[in-house]
């Protein structure tokens, strides 16, 4: 029995906008999500909220995921019953070299 993998729509690299990326990363909950993914590589949605240390409702976490995906920071794919999230690190570095690492390093300094 094979498991269907469904891809969700993501902006193309050329459509990534710095203002949208920075706005998405400005929220502490979204930044914590990105930080957790940077450490994990990828994660199932059901575990990521806990890994990021977020004590928010599921609907709020879903909204954060949507904002990050639409900004081009996250890639989400559905695999069976799980939504798997990962960073679009290569795409972001191609469009805005060093930005993601700089934001994550600066955020780590303020913890």
Q: Chain-centre distance of CA 17, in angstroms?
A: 15
Count the Cβ atoms, other than its own, within 10 Å of residue 29: 18
Q: What are the tokens at 80?
A: 């069976």
According to DSSP, residue 84 is labeled: E
Question: Which of 7-11, 35-39, 46-50, 83-87 shows the lowest per-residue confidence on average (mean pLDDT)?
Answer: 7-11
Domains and CATH numbers, the chain: 14-109 (1.10.10.10)
pLDDT at 56: 93
Is 54 within 8 Å of 35 (Cβ atoms)? no
Percent of the chain with pLDDT over 90: 75
Positive or negative torsion for Cα 57, 42, 6, 95: positive
Give this prediction's pTM: 0.87
Distance from the first to the final alpha carbon of the chain:
45
Is 92 within 8 Å of 37 (Cβ atoms)? no
pLDDT at 28: 94
pLDDT one-digit tens code per residue, 24-37: 999 999 999 999 99
Across the chain, mean pLDDT equals: 89
Grouping H, G, I as helix, E, B as strand and the rest as coil, residue 100 is helix
């Amino acid at each position: 029995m094979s498991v269907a993998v469904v891809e969700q729509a993501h902006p193309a690299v050329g459509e990534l906008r710095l203002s949208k990326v920075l706005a998405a990363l400005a929220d502490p909950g979204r930044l914590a999500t990105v930080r957790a993914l940077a450490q994990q590589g990828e994660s199932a949605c059901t575990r990521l909220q806990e890994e990021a240390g977020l004590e928010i409702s599921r609907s709020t976490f879903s909204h954060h995921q949507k904002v990050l995906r639409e900004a081009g920071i996250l890639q989400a794919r559905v695999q069976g019953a799980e939504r798997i999230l990962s960073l679009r690190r290569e795409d972001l570095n191609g469009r805005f070299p060093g930005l993601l690492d700089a934001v994550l390093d600066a955020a780590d300094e303020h913890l």
